[in-house]
Amino acid sequence: MASAKETVQKLVEPIDVRINGNRPFDIQVHNQKFYQRVLAQGYLGLGESYMEGWWDCEALDEMIARVVRGYIEEKVGVGLKDAWITFLSKIINMQQGRRAFKVGQQHYDVGNDLYTRMLDSRMVYTCGYWKEAETLDDAQEAKLDLVCRKIGLEPGMTVLDLGCGWGSFAQYAAENYGAEVTGLTISKDQVELGNQRCTGLPAELQFQDYRSVSGTYDRVVSIGLLEHVGYKNYGEYMDVVKRSLKDDGIGFIHCIGNSNSSSSSTNAWTNKYIFPNSMLPSLSQISRAMEGQFVLEDLHNIGEHYDPTLMAWYRNFEAAWPELREKYGDRFYRMWRFYLLSSAGGFRGRNIQLWQIVFTKRGRPQPECRFS
């Protein structure tokens, strides 16, 4: 019977990753318990053992991309924690009530000092658009402008921004298109800093769950929210958009998506350490929620642009770490490094995508917008 080490070596051999090899994407194992832990716990064991210093990999992003392309996770299977989270997601609405605010408290409120150093000057915490951009600032400006063009934004229009972050879109749309923007977020830190950044503009951020919104708007957008909505709530999300959107309005979704299958939860490591109660929607889940309510006008996959975005965030994080280390500590550093680089690898391996979706209410003439 093969040992745990031999089993792991056979798993990574087809993807040309070596144990204790000399290339940047090879794995350096420091604790021999690593092999059994990964086989028993899957992605949770991989991430936690990295946080604890059991192994290292210089080019962790490329290693993960190779793991994704080789379908290694499917061959290993899921651990008990992953199975338990999936079970809970079937019987409990993981994104309802107080649970909806947990990701704000754990992730987005971790510290504005971290995010101001990691992100671009506008603090956009979603995928940039690198088609003609060379810097992170340029890529995020291009993405924000792309959104405005896709929804046909004009001066004086009212916009509801569901999941507004630090107000990057609200600020940009108000400054460059003369729009009046109301943004909602479940992060107190984002509201405080975002409203400071929007001072003097017709843009206001509110600490509020998307389900409690009132009023009607010319445009309704969500840029990075649907990943926190949950499959049990996609129908309610669409109901909220429908009642908030004027009859001649345009809706817009920008979200990470699972292109391989529909799921009901995320992996146990991401759920525990990064985005609690999150999950990536599939196109079939989104389209089912839209049925009978909206007309799909445009679907654009810009997933390839998330890899360079994440790598830019990682470089900024590394450069700022000497200033952040005393507050956050070495365990946080390894956790955050694993988060950023494994995410980049996931996009590079084409396991996950980034979709931009433009839609309208039924009966409305097709809008004359620029979708690219």
Nearest in space to 226 (alpha carbons), one of 213, 216, 240:
240
Beta strands in 150-280 (DSSP E): 158-162, 180-185, 203-207, 217-223, 245-258
Of residues 368 and 352, more confidence is placed in: 352
Q: Which of 35-49, 66-80, 189-203 has the highest mean pLDDT?
A: 189-203
pLDDT of residue 76: 66
pLDDT in tens, 87-112: 344 444 445 666 667 888 999 999 99
Report how far residue 10's alpha carbon sits from residue 114's, in angstroms, rounded to the nearest whole number.
Answer: 39
Nearest Cα residue to 347 out of 62, 43, 38, 56: 62
Residue 265, pLDDT score: 56
Q: How far is CA 179 from CA 31, 109, 171, in A?
A: 56, 27, 9
CA 43 to chain centre: 18
- Residue 264, pLDDT score: 47
| CB-based burial, 20-37: b 16+ in 10 Å, e otherwise | eeeeebbbebeeeebbeb
Residue 266: per-residue pLDDT? 72
Is the distance from CB of 158 to CB of 75 less than 8 angstroms?
no
325-347 mean pLDDT: 97
CATH assignment, 94-361: 3.40.50.150
Say what the pLDDT of residue 158 is: 98
Query: What is the average pLDDT across 139-161?
Result: 98
- Strand (E) or helix (H) holding 103: helix 102-103
**Which region among 154-163, 166-175, 258-267 has the lowest average model confidence (pLDDT)?**
258-267
The CA-based angle 340-341-344, given to 5 degrees, is 90
280: which DSSP letter?
P
Any residues with CB less than 8 A from the CB of 43 and at least 6 apart, and which? 73, 78, 79, 82, 267, 268, 269, 270
What single DSSP character describes residue 304? G
Q: Angle CA(185)–CA(151)–CA(136) in degrees, nearest 5?
A: 65
Whether 85 shows a pLDDT value over 60: the answer reads no
CB count within 10 Å of CB 98 equals: 7
Cβ(102)–Cβ(109) under 8 Å?
A: no
Segment 236-250 mean pLDDT = 97
Query: Which residues, listed in sequence order, are joined to residue 310 by a DSSP beta bridge?
Result: none
**Per-residue pLDDT tens for 195-230?**
999 999 999 999 999 999 999 999 999 999 999 998
Edge-to-edge strand ranges of the sheet holding 217-223: 203-207, 180-185, 158-162, 217-223, 245-258, 352-361, 294-301
Report the percent of the chain where pLDDT is more than 70: 91
Average pLDDT score, the chain: 91
Beta-strand pair 352-361/245-258: antiparallel
Task: Find the largest Cα–Cα distance for the chain.
Answer: 71
Which of 163, 217, 202 is closest to 186 using CA atoms? 163
Residue 86 has pLDDT above 70, yes or no: no
Instruction: Give the list of residues 6+ apart from residue 323 with CB closer than 8 angstroms, or none.
Output: 117
User: Identity (one letter) of the amino acid at 268?
Assistant: A
pLDDT at 186 over 60: yes
For the chain, which residues make up each domain, given as ranges?
4-77, 94-361
pLDDT of residue 77: 59
